[in-house]
Amino acid sequence: MAANDHSGGDTREPGAAGRLSDAYTAGRLSDAFFTPGTSSFTRFLAEHRPALLPTRSPLPAGTTAPPGAFPHGTTVLALAYRDGVLIAGDRRATMGNLIAQRDLEKVHPADGHTAVAFAGTVGLALDMVKLYQVELTHFEKIEGVPMTLDGKARRLAAMIRENLGQAMQGLAVVPLLAGYDPKAPAGAHGRIFSFDVAGGLYEKRDFHAEGSGSPYAGGALKKLYRPGLTRRDAALTALQALYDAADDDSATGGPDLSRRIFPIVSVITDEGFERLPQAETEELTREMVAHRRTRPDGPNATP
């Protein structure tokens, strides 16, 4: 029977994707998992199970997501400090003029010495973060060494570029990457990378903010940031910046003292990624809010 004769059943040799699917059905891994190949898990997935990629579009070609149809995360920021780099974000997700979630987590560890925060379409961003975490783990297992921080930034840029089609449909994700680079010069181990929706990669010096509240958070950081901040002062600076963003941007959530919902603040040092404990973040937030009662516009820049 000819290969293209479907009258009596398909006799074509199944492709890699078919063999992978058959292997799952049989309850065992296929040969694709044991064949030497790329160190990129994203490329492996694109070859064998492309339907699992978060870059696939949920919308028909040529359509655009209506405003407010999907939850969006808003303001995230990062700043270098004495021991490394700090990355933080507010907790609000919005759908148009509605608050979709009050306690969204926008800051996630990518590996032991790198963290990623996001603004943009929440569902897509969370899937992209999970895939990125697997990507870095897969690379280290295949190559036997961790990816360099510059390599991590370029790999994330490539993932964002693959999402360009969805971004043009209104489903954009704008991440912020921060990491501790032991190979950097002394005093400059904390590094920050930003991206645009087309996968453009930009390294930022000292601090950066993304999201709808970023103009206000960035202004506060420009006013309050100084080199060599301690961890406590860096955390307070980040909280002040997020408070200013929430003060002027309705999509950014301020600290909710009654519900005890506070921004997420994490640091990355030579010892690795650490999320500040809830008690520490709450103490710093309440201290900041108490000072704001007498100075609603926040502290002045230090000389």
Catalytic residue among 74, 94, 121, 237: 74
CA 115 vs. chain centroid, Å, equals: 7
User: Can 64 be counted among the known catalytic residues?
Assistant: no
For residues 167 and 71, what is the distance between their CA atoms, to the nearest angstrom? 14
For residues 103 and 167, what is the distance between their CA atoms, to the nearest angstrom? 25
For residues 124 and 150, what is the distance between their CA atoms, to the nearest angstrom? 24
Residue 42's identity, in one-letter code, is T
For residues 289 and 244, what is the distance between their CA atoms, to the nearest angstrom? 11
For residues 252 and 213, what is the distance between their CA atoms, to the nearest angstrom? 6
Q: What residues have CB less than 8 Å from 181, skipping those under 6 apart? A: 149, 189, 190, 191
Residues forming the active site: 74
